Amino acid sequence: MLKQPQIFLFFINRLLNLYDFRQITMNRITLKDKTFKTSIPYERISEAIDAVAEKINQDFNGCEDIPVLLCVLNGSIMFTAELMKRLTFNCQVVSTKLTSYVGTSTTGTVKQAIGLTADITGRRVIVIEDIVDSGNTIVELKKILEEKGASESRICTLLLKPDAYKKDVKLDYVAMEIPNDFIVGFGLDYDELGRNLKDIYVLDK
């Protein structure tokens, strides 16, 4: 038989659990003039990275060259860090910085703000992108990598917005597909804010 204090504690416990659940599912944040709500929790991001890393390992394990992981700054900093921990072959990290977004929309023009930080002539390159949206950035990147003499380039992206992507470039490794909504967190920003968030948030319309 449950005694009164035990019943009381049971209900308090249930209430606290409900409160925790609300924190996880209903979390809202404000960056400048916009409010965002939790969309993809870190645990799901991490599982998706596990899966994509396994595919890359299957393709590159035992390779005799040293493939280049090209981190596209700033958006893919967090993804690159998480992905490289899971890769089991020898690789080199090189960075470049491209920009195209202002606020919540793309300008359509991709600018190379920082060139490649190492020579990639004759090397196999795996481009590590945070998100493929219109695809303008990866088209530009493929062009740059060809000009710089890469022997092969593959695209690996954490996120893909299939409804926005209209290019022919093959996306070799895609961790997650998402609707065509503006998101922040896990490296992605709104006017340079929100990159440090562990989870991914979507614009609350």
Among residues 135, 141, 142, 199, which is the contact residue for ligand IMP, using CB under 6 A? 135
* Conformational region of residue 101, where left means phi above 0, alpha means psi within -120 to 50, and beta covers everything else: beta
Q: Closest Cα partner for 191 from 101, 82, 79?
A: 101
Tell me if residue 133 is catalytic: yes
Active-site residue among 50, 119, 133, 189? 133
Rounded distance between C-alpha atoms, residue 154 and residue 142, angstroms: 9
Q: How far is the CB of 103 from ligand IMP (least distance, A)?
A: 10
Number of residues counted as binding ligand IMP (CB under 6 A): 18
Kindly identify the residues of this chain, within the stretch 27-86, that bind ligand IMP according to CB under 6 A. Answer: 75
Residue 121: Cβ-neighbour burial (10 angstroms; 0-12, 13-18, 19+): exposed
Q: Rounded to 5 degrees, what are φ and ψ at 128?
A: -105, 110
Q: How far is the CB of 187 from ligand IMP (least distance, A)?
A: 8
State both tokens at 178.
């998402």
Distances (CA, A) of 95 to 113, 130, 140, 155: 11, 13, 15, 14
Residue span binding ligand IMP (CB under 6 A) among the ranges 17-25, 28-36, 41-49, 182-190: 182-190
Q: How far is the CB of 75 from ligand IMP (least distance, A)?
A: 4
Contact letters for Mg ion, residues 51-90 (x by CB under 5 A): ---------------------x--x---------------
Query: Which residues would be at the binding site for ligand IMP (CB under 6 A)?
Result: 75, 100-101, 106, 129-137, 182-184, 188-189
* Active site residues per annotation: 133
